[in-house]
Structure 1
Amino acid sequence: MEKVLVSACLLGKKVRYDGKALSTSERILEQWVAAGKVISVCPEVDAGMTIPRSPAEILNGDGLDVWEGTARVIDINGLDESAYFKAGAHIALALCKKYQIRVAVLTENSPSCGSSAIYDGTFTNTKLDGTGVTVALLQKHGIEVFNQHDLDAANHALLRDRHYL
């Protein structure tokens, strides 16, 4: 049975930096959960970060740049949290390998999970095009990553090569 990696906060788990969830009640996600196909992940919490925790953003680039060492994930106090974000990304990748996951649905705008947009590191609510640290690693390993607004596209990716639901 094929599995899908999904951000824990989208599943109602209160794991976000502010101790809240970002639940979505999309029919497709509900079907995946009911069928037992969802593997939940929160890269930050799985790597040992606390709930709640200080907001963090990527400074000087995106997730790819963090892996290349030219950008850092910093919290609002200026503390470099890059090591946690990289460790969380490795945990997410390990789950994908363990369950042979090829599709993930992760939370947009997150410094870990943003698949097309992240905050710019200035803590001014300014977004830029780019990926989070976890997304960059997953994509490097051939995993297709979608955000919570693209569940139809994620479902089509699953159905493209084999029957899923």
Structure 2
Amino acid sequence: MQTAEGAFDEMTNIAYRMKELATQGASDANGTTEWAAQSAEYTALTSELDSIMKNTTFGGTALLEGATSKFAAAAGVKFQVGSSANETLTVNISGNLDATTGVAKNIDDIQGLTTGGFGSVTEAQAHLAEIDKLIAGVGSARSALGASMNRLEHTMTNVTNMKENTQAASSTLMDA
């Protein structure tokens, strides 16, 4: 989960840089040279977003996109967090990532606009709207993942407390 969250953090940084570039591109003060430079960086950042989605792995398992991705799968990732069969935690952020409504679609939409970056104020403004959707999508996915990470941390603390209390009770019984 920390690896996926790290990828989302970098995607957020990239999206904010893309927003800066599109905002600069939405100015009439730009000429073709400025738009070309902004567009080149913007297009490269779009490619990097796609690469992060496809190549973020942990232990050989794709995390965000791909056939083996557990986080993108509808069933999510199931963690055994206790000693009984009922003590599990399922992390499912597939809705935040999928190609119909989530981050993957936001990236695809931006790539669809980026046939050569942007060369006019109107094109740059169109990108701004798509970047806002991307930022919201990544934020939503990070929020869902962060909530699961916090829950897992609390569960670990509770299991540790139970272990310590069980050991203390065992020690008391042995002493008696």
Q: One fold, TM greater than 0.5?
A: no
What TM-score do the two structures reach when normalised by structure 1? 0.27
Bigger relative CO (Cα 8 Å, ≥ 6 apart) = 2
Larger gyration radius, structure 1 or structure 2: 2
What TM-score do the two structures reach when normalised by structure 2? 0.26
Higher-helix-fraction structure: 2
